[in-house]
Amino acid sequence: MNVREIPFGDIAAIVSEPWVDTSRKPWISGDIAYVPVRNGYPFTTTLPERRRKGRGYQKIGSIIAFHGEKPGADVISEVITLHNPQAVVWYRGHIGDMRIPDLVPLYGEVTDIIHNESGIRYHLNPSLVMFSQGNREEKRRVADQVRPGERICDMFAGIGYFTLPMAKAGGIVHAIEINPVAVRYLQINILENSLDSQVTISSGDCRDHITGIYDRIHMGHYEAVRFLDTVFDHVRTGTTIHVHGIGDIETEIRKHLDTSGHSATLQHRIIKKIGPGKVHTVTDVVIT
Tally of domains in the chain? 2
Residue 190 lies in a domain: yes
Residue 195 lies in a domain: yes
Predicted local distance difference test score (pLDDT) of residue 242: 98
Pairing of strands 113-117, 120-124: antiparallel
Instruction: Please tell me whether residues 143 and 276 are part of one structural domain.
Output: yes
Question: Residue 146, Cα to own-chain centre: how many angstroms?
Answer: 17
Q: Which residues, in sequence order, are bridge partners of residue 105?
A: 89
Residue 11 lies in a domain: yes
Q: What does the alpha-carbon distance between residue 203 and residue 178 come to, in Å, rounded to a whole number?
A: 6
Greater confidence, 78 or 210?
Answer: 210
| Average pLDDT of the segment spanning 103-121 | 93
Amino acid at 81: T
Pairing of strands 120-124, 216-219: unpaired
104 Cβ neighbours under 8 A, 6+ residues apart: 70, 89, 90, 92
Instruction: Please tell me whether residues 155 and 268 are part of one structural domain.
Output: yes
| Average pLDDT of the segment spanning 104-108 | 94
Q: What share of the chain is helix, strand, coil (3-state, %, to 5)?
A: 25, 35, 40
Instruction: Please tell me whether residues 155 and 279 are part of one structural domain.
Output: yes
Q: What does the alpha-carbon distance between residue 91 and residue 127 come to, in Å, rounded to a whole number?
A: 9
pLDDT tens-digit series, residues 6-49: 888 788 788 888 888 876 778 877 678 888 898 888 888 887 76
How confident is residue 217, by pLDDT bands cut at 50, 70 and 90? very high
DSSP 64-116: EEE-SSPPPHHHHHHHHHHH--SEEEEEEEEETTTTEEEEEEEEE----EEEE
Predicted local distance difference test score (pLDDT) of residue 49: 61
- Average pLDDT of every residue of the chain: 90
Residue 59 lies in a domain: no
Predicted local distance difference test score (pLDDT) of residue 44: 86
Residue 96 lies in a domain: no
SS3 131: coil
Per the CB < 8 A criterion, the answer to whether 110 and 121 are in contact is no
Domain ranges, residue 2: 1-47
Using CA atoms, how far residue 14 sits from 18, 23, 45, 78, 200, in Å, is 9, 15, 17, 30, 39
Residue 188 lies in a domain: yes
Instruction: Please tell me whether residues 166 and 272 are part of one structural domain.
Output: yes
SS3 178: coil
| Average pLDDT of the segment spanning 61-68 | 89
Instruction: Please tell me whether residues 154 and 258 are part of one structural domain.
Output: yes
Predicted local distance difference test score (pLDDT) of residue 52: 45
Q: Which residues, in sequence order, are bridge partners of residue 269?
A: 282
Instruction: Please tell me whether residues 140 and 269 are part of one structural domain.
Output: yes
Predicted local distance difference test score (pLDDT) of residue 50: 54
Residue 105 lies in a domain: no
105 Cβ neighbours under 8 A, 6+ residues apart: 87, 88, 89, 127
How confident is residue 1, by pLDDT bands cut at 50, 70 and 90? confident
Q: What does the alpha-carbon distance between residue 199 and residue 173 come to, in Å, rounded to a whole number?
A: 5
Residue 72 lies in a domain: no
- Asked if the model's pLDDT at residue 99 lies above 70, the reply is yes
